[in-house]
Amino acid sequence: MRRTVVVTGASSGIGLAAAVALARAGDDVVLLGRDPRRLADAVSRVRDAGGRTPASYRADFSVLDEVRAAGAAIAAAYERIDVLANNAGQLTSVRRPTADGHDATMQINHLGGFLLTHLLLDRLQAAAKPQVPARIVTTSSLAEAWGTLDVDRPGRRQISRWLAYGASKQANILTTVEAARRWTGLGIVATCFFPGLIRSGFGRRSPAFSVARFAPGLFRSSEQGADTLVWLATDPDALVPGGHFAWRAPFPATGRSTDPARAQRLWRSSLAAVEQG
């Protein structure tokens, strides 16, 4: 039976390259994106790679109701989900809080995926078999190293977009640590990875990042960035609950991003942040 793999941020860059590779390998890939035109292009690319038209869903993670609607639609369409790749993210320049009241970067890069994961949790559990766990793979970043995350108030406004980005990537790793503690026993293995510096749509509005993209040898392709995601989504050797990887190997993260007590506090405050009403 073919695996069902849900990829967020599938309309561009690392997510699209991963979706193409997974479809080519025979998985049924479900694409989640925001921009309708890029999402339609991604559907064509994945169809060309895998020979089947993938399902696609649209949601802007800066609006939690859109995440709820997409999560409900995906849950209704699939009884089992073998892999969820929480990859959507950006370096946003939006300074005002979202309509949900959270820092925009934190909501897009952490709270949106956190909510989606909970909406699809029973579908992941339904896919898990004793020898073949379901998987959650999250795209983190080296930027976690400078994150100033308040684990009790993750949606708190940040003073700069790079600090906000670093905090959101700390949240990605801490969430993986706590998901491993809570869900490995359910047959769901959560891991995360740093993709490297990747020439994608990321950071296009950042002057520093845009200039750095031209430095010889520093940046890699989206396909190279997707390689570890595909490996974590597929390989038996990649079933390391709570693991943080880069280039298919364990990769260190700061203590602030791996501390189990901080992970538990962030989990509780994130649940409160995505609760309705």
Ligand X SMILES: NC(=O)c1ccc[n+]([C@@H]2O[C@H](COP(=O)([O-])OP(=O)(O)OC[C@H]3O[C@@H](n4cnc5c(N)ncnc54)[C@H](OP(=O)(O)O)[C@@H]3O)[C@@H](O)[C@H]2O)c1
Contact status: 61 vs ligand X (CB under 6 A): yes
228 binds ligand X (CB under 6 A): no
| CA angle at 121 for the pair 43 and 264, rounded to the nearest 5° | 120
Site track 93-112 with ligand X (rule: CB under 6 A), x = hit: ---------------x----
Does residue 90 belong to the site contacting ligand X (CB under 6 A)? yes
> CA nearest 191: which of 231, 143, 138?
138
- Residue 249: strand pairing partners: 246
Question: Do the Cβ atoms of 169 and 140 come closer than 8 Å?
Answer: yes
> Closest separation between CB of residue 187 and ligand X, Å?
26
Binding mask 23-42 for ligand X (x = CB under 6 A): ----------xxx--x----
Single residue of 29, 74, 88, 238 touching ligand X by CB under 6 A:
88
113 touches ligand X (CB under 6 A): no
Nearer to ligand X, 9 or 54 (CB): 9
Positions marked active-site: 165
**162 is a site residue for ligand X (CB under 6 A):** no
Return the number of the residue (142 or 186) whose C-beta is nearest ligand X: 142
For residue 247, count other CB atoms closer than 10 A to its CB.
14
Exposure string (b/e) for 93-121, b if CB count within 10 Å is 16 or more?
eeeebbebebbbbbbbbbbbbbbbbebbb
Identity at 11, one-letter amino acid code: S
| Sole binder of ligand X in the list 7, 23, 179, 197 (CB under 6 A) | 197
Nearer to ligand X, 35 or 122 (CB): 35
Could you give the CA distance from residue 230 to residue 48 in angstroms, rounded to a whole number? 18
Nearer to ligand X, 50 or 196 (CB): 196
Q: Which is nearer to ligand X, 34 or 135 (CB)?
A: 34
CB 8 within 8 A of CB 88: yes
Q: How far apart (Å, rounded) are the C-alpha atoms in residues 213 and 235?
A: 30
Which residue among 117, 200, 228, 270 contacts ligand X (CB under 6 A)? 200
Q: Which residues pair with 234 in a beta bridge?
A: none
CA 64 to chain CA centroid, nearest Å: 15
Taking the complex as a whole, the smallest distance from the CB of residue 22 to ligand X amounts, in Å, to 15
Positions that interact with ligand X (CB under 6 A): 9-15, 33-35, 38, 60-62, 87-90, 108, 139, 141, 194-195, 197-198, 200-202
